[in-house]
Amino acid sequence: AQSVTQLGSHVSVSEGALVLLRCNYSSSVPPYLFWYVQYPNQGLQLLLKYTSAATLVKGINGFEAEFKKSETSFHLTKPSAHMSDAAEYFCAVTKAAGNKLTFGGGTRVLVKP
Amino acid sequence: GAVVSQHPSWVICKSGTSVKIECRSLDFQATTMFWYRQFPKQSLMLMATSNEGSKATYEQGVEKDKFLINHASLTLSTLTVTSAHPEDSSFYICSAHDLAATSYNEQFFGPGTRLTVL
């Protein structure tokens, strides 16, 4: 079985400050890991994915995440928050291509001016 | 590319009626589509996996007779909520798996359908 834990259901950051969203996973096999963003009343947009290539993954909108096997983590960061980053972020894991995703509980990001 | 649409984007219905939601992959073929349900301020919960030409696989606790899934073609899957009740009110999101992608083929998500049952 696989699972995902996102620490912190809400994160508040100031505009221009570092954004750090935490994700820990458990998986019986090497995982595929994803970060998605969801704006209100919309579907999910892929930010980035880890598929066993480089451990540091760069995504869209200035986000990046680092896969750390020893810590079973896949934390998402952005050096400088923008007001448009206010949204819900989901970490997800799957064990095989095309297989079902297991989502974390989500982290809502609030960006203060 | 890799666009998934859902129709309708929102629907309001009376209790006891049935509602059909369509999920289409517009520019790729999808052997597998997934249906998720999302309650307000909560995460996505997988309801079922829809495979073209075969019966859907439902997650534990999801009533297959209430949530009918049909995947008749490589670009269309439908979810029918039968005899809907207010507790079925939710945001329903589908995703599709690109058959032709050679690298890890991520799932592409539709924009969601907001169902409100009165």
With H, G, I as helix, E, B as strand and everything else as coil, classify residue A62: helix
Q: How far B16 CA sits from the closest chain A CA (Å)?
A: 25
Q: Are A98 and B98 in contact (CB under 8 A)?
A: no
Q: How confident is the model over B25-71, as pLDDT tens digits?
A: 998 888 889 999 998 888 999 999 998 888 899 999 999 999 999 98
Could you identify the residue written with the tokens 């799957």? Answer: A94
H or E segment at A92? strand A87-94
Beta-strand ranges (E) seen in chain A are: 3-7, 10-14, 19-26, 32-38, 44-50, 56-58, 64-68, 73-78, 87-94, 102-103, 107-112
**What per-residue confidence (pLDDT) applies to A97?**
62
Q: Are A46 and A36 in contact (CB under 8 A)?
A: yes
- What does the pLDDT average to over B18-25? 96
What's the mean pLDDT when you consider all of chain B?
A: 90
**What per-residue confidence (pLDDT) applies to B105?**
58
Residue B102 has pLDDT above 60, yes or no: no
Residue A62 phi/psi, 5-degree rounding, is 80, 5
pLDDT band of B104, cuts 50, 70, 90 = low
**What per-residue confidence (pLDDT) applies to B101?**
65
Q: Using a CB-CB distance cutoff of 8 angstroms, which residues of chain A are in contact with residue B51?
A: none
Alpha-carbon distance of B28 to A36, in angstroms, equals: 21
Structure tokens at B66: 């209430």
**What per-residue confidence (pLDDT) applies to A92?**
93
**What per-residue confidence (pLDDT) applies to B103?**
57
H or E segment at B116? strand B113-117
Q: In this complex, which of A46, A100, A105 lies closest to B43 when CB atoms are compared?
A: A105
Q: How far B39 CA sits from the closest chain A CA (Å)?
A: 11
Residue B110 has pLDDT above 90, yes or no: yes
Contact B49 A97 (CB under 8 A): no
- What does the pLDDT average to over B76-101? 91
Which residue in B44, B97, B113 has the most chain A C-beta atoms within 10 A of its own C-beta, making it the best mutation to test that interface?
A: B44
A3 to chain B, any CB pair closer than 8 A? The answer is no
CA-wise closest residue to A75 among A54, A110, A50: A50
List helix spans (H) across B1-118: none
B18, B98, B110, B21: CA torsion to nearest 10: -10
**Digits of tens for pLDDT over chain A (113 positions)?**
778 999 999 999 999 999 999 999 987 777 889 999 999 888 899 999 998 778 899 999 999 999 998 999 999 999 999 999 999 999 999 877 667 889 999 999 999 99
